[in-house]
Amino acid sequence: MIARCQVDYAGRLTAHLPMATRLLLVKSDGSVSVHSDDRAYKPLNWMSPPCWLIEDGKLWIVENKQGEKLVISIDEIFHDYAQALGAEPGLQKDGVEAHLQELLAEHIKTLGDGYTLVRREFPTAIGPVDIMARDAEGRSVAVEIKRRGEIDGAISALPADTSRARHWAVEVKRRATIDAVEQLTRYLELLNRDPLLAPVGGILAAQAIAPQARTLAEDRGIRCVVLDYDELRGIPSEEMRLF
């Protein structure tokens, strides 16, 4: 509703909004908020649920279980409209692990020429590795995609020589930190126990890799790869290049 009104709040303190034209929002969860034509999304005053609204002509009384009251005195109504919005599907963030996993699976050659997808969600005893791939020489590559490291604790480092590895575990993050290296190391330590997979090398792939993470990864024989998210999505880069 858009109306000329004044608003008085009585509770832990008192507040008064003099007569002016404002936007009144009443949501299906019972909340009532009073907005002006500035302050962006933040209301001038509001009552959060659980609360109830009593209408007495042009007088609205909003009260909650603590006895706090929001009294809205309406002088003139300019617009009154009701619309049910329905169920909210929720915010879908761009670039989360599931989307990155799909993009990398679709463009698996980002890891190198000749790479092919074996499967996504490759199972291990401590959780699925997001992607299993195979390179041009027939070596398998395991890919794990996370936003943040979830497996903590240092474990034994990989053998220094991974150049002869037949399989590769690749973990993908938006920003790789030391936790990401520790997580990948834990997966590699487990995968290397499987005689059908060992030896398994590691690749840390991310949009950004912290210097400390890069140093630790290279010390453990883990290869680091920087990913271009827009390039994976097929969006041309606006960055100026010489070639």
Q: At what angle do helices 178-191 and 211-219 cross, to 10 degrees?
A: 20
Domain with CATH 2.70.180.20 in the chain: 2-79
Which parts of the chain register pLDDT below 70?
90-97, 136, 138-166, 236-243
CB 169 within 8 A of CB 200: yes
Segment (H or E) for 212: helix 211-219
Model confidence pLDDT, tens digit, residues 48-68: 999 999 999 999 999 999 999
Q: What is the pLDDT of residue 151?
A: 37
Architecture of domain 2-79: Distorted Sandwich (2.70)
CATH of 97-233, one of 3.40.1350.10, 2.40.30.10, 3.55.50.30, 3.40.50.2300: 3.40.1350.10
Q: Where in the chain do CATH 3.40.1350.10 domains reside?
A: 97-233
pLDDT of residue 59: 96
Q: Would the pTM of this model clear 0.85, i.e. be above it?
A: no
Distance between CA 77 and CA 59 in Å, rounded? 12
Instruction: Determine whether 207 is exposed, middle or buried from the number of CB atoms within 10 Å of its CB (0-12, 13-18, 19+).
Output: middle
pLDDT at 145: 60
Are 149 and 127 contacting, i.e. CB atoms less than 8 angstroms apart? no
Cβ atoms of 76 and 3 closer than 8 Å: yes
Per DSSP, the three-state class of 196 is: coil
What residue ranges in 27-68 does DSSP mark as E strands? Answer: 32-35, 45-47, 51-56, 59-64
The CA radius of gyration of the chain, in Å to the nearest whole number, is 28
C-alpha to C-alpha distances, 227 to 83, 96, 119, nearest whole angstrom = 44, 14, 20
